[in-house]
């Protein structure tokens, strides 16, 4: 096969997130990358991509066949979490580099297997931790490294998911099953644990955790069905959503910016109160780092807004940041809320509509100097602008000239982040603290 000078990219898992990467290849970096292969259990999802983007990528349902026939340079892994190990290891063994979506995988054993495969094949894994590139998160890293607060020794990080929209969505889709997603401590908190590790500039060692279902799952709503679209209680249940009705899928897809008519067959309306929901909605985790630093983390999926609070205590000061992002998509507002002329909520539940904050702030309190505030822009698109940075790097090898922050994550960072979530899940189940091994 005559190889083109462009980076030959194949994508496995043609769902929601794949469209961001496909946009990155086709629209952001067409000079340096090309889409040569698409693989999904549903062939139509791959064919939809070619039709919508005008590409001619070969379409497969058989991943091994795609790797053998397409011979990609880079495989982009965008399947649900439980398949990441298989898809990453096979791509590395086929001689490809890998860009993987978070989380790296769902267990400590899988993380070690992935690192082994990376080492034996001498290929690279690009770990797509886009949150690191959000200006606020990068700045916190800078302040924890440059001595502004000394050496970080403890961190409080609380993360909130709004109960009616984003939070509930995890309980309405495949993420609601521990075996598919690893629960929120893997699928969601992997971002947060990576940030905490990066800000602490240390390696996690010991983990203890509690987890509960206080809001979703059985016993928390008078009406339980299988899916909203087939539910006999639809007219009474305040949790009814029409998000999966055929024409709504198309509308939703446009809202999300996809060119395709809708990610076919994506079920988003499972009843969040079904008895098969086995992930936690309320979690509390303690981590001790190699050098003694302590992280106190909590994640709650039943909060009336979306956001996070952070405090980092260092040997020479403290920094704090409080983030509230509570603006849902425009379509969501139209469907669920009516807002008065002064922004008051006249009808609807969940969010109170406000504008996105135009900036984020960090309050820095050095022990031996006046406190001060740092403002950072809030970039509304592409996960705070992080997506564009990771596509630049993974698809076009565009890296900053200097990288004092060590901003790009690799497999070992993915392993540490997954390891905290996996250890926390284990600790919740067993009641015992869990030690994280050294990844070799």
Ligand X SMILES: NC(=O)c1ccc[n+]([C@@H]2O[C@H](COP(=O)([O-])OP(=O)(O)OC[C@H]3O[C@@H](n4cnc5c(N)ncnc54)[C@H](O)[C@@H]3O)[C@@H](O)[C@H]2O)c1
The token pair at 186 is 């893997």
91-94, Cβ contacts within 8 angstroms, sequence gap of 24 or more: 91/67, 92/117, 92/118, 92/121, 92/123, 92/125, 93/117, 93/121, 94/67, 94/68
| The one among 83, 239, 273, 408 contacting ligand X by CB under 6 A | 83
In the complex, minimum distance from the CB of residue 173 to ligand X, in angstroms, rounded to a whole number: 7
The token pair at 143 is 């302040």
Counting contacts by CB under 6 A, is residue 81 touching ligand X? yes
Counting contacts by CB under 6 A, is residue 133 touching ligand X? no
Counting contacts by CB under 6 A, is residue 325 touching ligand X? no
**Per-residue contact track with ligand X, 278 to 317, x per CB under 6 A?**
----------------------------------------
Secondary structure E strands in 13-60: 33-39, 58-60
Round to whole Å and give the CA distance between 35 and 146: 41
Burial class (CB in 10 A: 0-12, 13-18, 19+), 2: exposed
Counting contacts by CB under 6 A, is residue 101 touching ligand X? yes
Round to whole Å and give the CA distance between 199 and 221: 39
Chain position whose Cβ is nearest to ligand X: 15
33-39 vs 58-60, strand pairing mode = parallel
**Per-residue contact track with ligand X, 111 to 130, x per CB under 6 A?**
-----------------x-x
In the complex, minimum distance from the CB of residue 114 to ligand X, in angstroms, rounded to a whole number: 14
Task: Please state, in angstroms and as integers, the Cα–Cα distance from residue 175 to each residue in 10, 266, 332, following that order.
Answer: 24, 12, 21
163 neighbors 350 (Cβ within 8 angstroms) = yes
- Segment interacting with ligand X (CB under 6 A) among 78-86, 196-204, 267-275, 337-345: 78-86
Nearer to ligand X, 152 or 421 (CB): 421
Nearer to ligand X, 129 or 289 (CB): 129
Helix ranges (DSSP H) in 150-275: 166-172, 178-181, 184-187, 189-200, 246-255
Between helices 189-200 and 411-430, what is the axis angle to 10°? 110
Nearer to ligand X, 244 or 374 (CB): 244
- Which residues, other chains included, contact 417 with Cβ-Cβ below 8 Å and sequence gap of 6+? 102, 103, 104, 129, 190, 191, 193, 194, 197
In the complex, minimum distance from the CB of residue 303 to ligand X, in angstroms, rounded to a whole number: 20
In the complex, minimum distance from the CB of residue 60 to ligand X, in angstroms, rounded to a whole number: 9
- Segment interacting with ligand X (CB under 6 A) among 6-14, 136-144, 301-309, 416-424: 6-14
- Residue in 357, 410, 338 with CA at minimum distance from that of residue 126: 410
Nearer to ligand X, 20 or 302 (CB): 20
CA angle 72, 78, 81 (to 5 degrees): 130
**Positions in 385-414 near ligand X (CB under 6 A):** none
**Positions in 147-206 near ligand X (CB under 6 A):** 174, 187
Counting contacts by CB under 6 A, is residue 417 touching ligand X? no
In the complex, minimum distance from the CB of residue 24 to ligand X, in angstroms, rounded to a whole number: 12
Counting contacts by CB under 6 A, is residue 16 touching ligand X? yes
Round to whole Å and give the CA distance between 174 and 354: 30
Counting contacts by CB under 6 A, is residue 143 touching ligand X? no
In the complex, minimum distance from the CB of residue 16 to ligand X, in angstroms, rounded to a whole number: 4
The token pair at 190 is 């992997």
Q: What φ, ψ does residue 128 adopt, rounded to 5°?
A: -85, 65
**Positions in 33-72 near ligand X (CB under 6 A):** 39-42, 45, 63
Counting contacts by CB under 6 A, is residue 12 touching ligand X? yes
Nearer to ligand X, 37 or 204 (CB): 37
**Positions in 255-274 near ligand X (CB under 6 A):** 263, 266
What does the binding site for ligand X look like in residue numbers (CB under 6 A)? Answer: 12-18, 39-42, 45, 63, 78-81, 83, 101-102, 128, 130, 174, 187, 263, 266, 383
């Amino acid at each position: 096969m005559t190889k083109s000078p462009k980076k030959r990219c194949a994508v496995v898992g043609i769902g929601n997130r794949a469209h961001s990467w496909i946009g990155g290849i086709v629209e952001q970096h067409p000079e340096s990358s090309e889409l040569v292969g698409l693989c999904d259990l549903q062939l139509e999802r791959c064919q939809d991509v070619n039709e919508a983007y005008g590409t001619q990528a070969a379409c497969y349902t058989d991943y091994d066949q795609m790797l053998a026939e397409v011979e990609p340079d880079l495989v982009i892994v965008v399947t649900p979490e439980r398949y990441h190990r298989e898809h990453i290891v096979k791509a590395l063994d086929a001689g490809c580099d890998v860009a993987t979506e978070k989380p790296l995988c769902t267990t400590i054993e899988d993380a070690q297997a992935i690192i082994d495969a990376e080492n034996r094949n001498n290929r690279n894994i690009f770990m797509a931790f886009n949150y690191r590139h959000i200006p606020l998160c990068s700045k916190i890293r800078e302040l924890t490294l440059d001595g502004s607060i000394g050496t970080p020794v403890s961190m409080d990080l609380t993360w909130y998911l709004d109960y009616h929209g984003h939070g509930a969505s995890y309980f309405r889709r495949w993420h609601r099953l521990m075996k598919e997603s690893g629960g929120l401590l893997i699928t969601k908190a992997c971002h947060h644990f990576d940030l905490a590790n990066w800000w602490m500039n240390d390696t996690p060692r010991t983990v203890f955790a509690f987890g509960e279902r206080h809001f979703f799952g059985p016993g928390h709503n008078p009406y339980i069905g299988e899916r909203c679209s087939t539910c006999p209680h639809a007219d009474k249940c305040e949790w009814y959503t029409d998000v999966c009705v055929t024409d709504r899928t198309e509308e939703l897809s446009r809202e999300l910016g996809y060119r395709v008519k809708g990610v076919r067959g994506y079920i988003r309306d499972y009843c969040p109160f079904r008895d098969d929901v086995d992930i936690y909605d309320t979690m509390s985790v303690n981590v001790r780092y190699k050098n003694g630093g302590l992280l106190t983390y909590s994640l709650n999926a039943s909060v009336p807004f979306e956001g996070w609070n952070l405090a980092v205590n260092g040997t020479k000061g403290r920094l704090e940041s409080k983030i509230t992002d509570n603006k849902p998509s425009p379509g969501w507002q139209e469907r669920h809320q009516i807002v008065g002329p002064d922004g008051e909520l006249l009808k609807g539940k969940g969010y109170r509509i406000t504008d996105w904050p135009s900036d984020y702030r960090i309050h820095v309190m050095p022990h031996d100097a006046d406190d001060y505030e740092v403002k950072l822009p809030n970039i509304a698109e592409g996960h705070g602008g992080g997506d564009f940075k990771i596509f630049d790097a993974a698809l076009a090898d565009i890296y900053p000239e200097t990288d004092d922050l060590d901003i790009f994550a690799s497999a070992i960072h993915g392993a540490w982040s997954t390891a905290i979530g996996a250890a926390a899940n284990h600790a919740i189940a067993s009641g015992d603290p869990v030690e994280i091994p050294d990844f070799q």
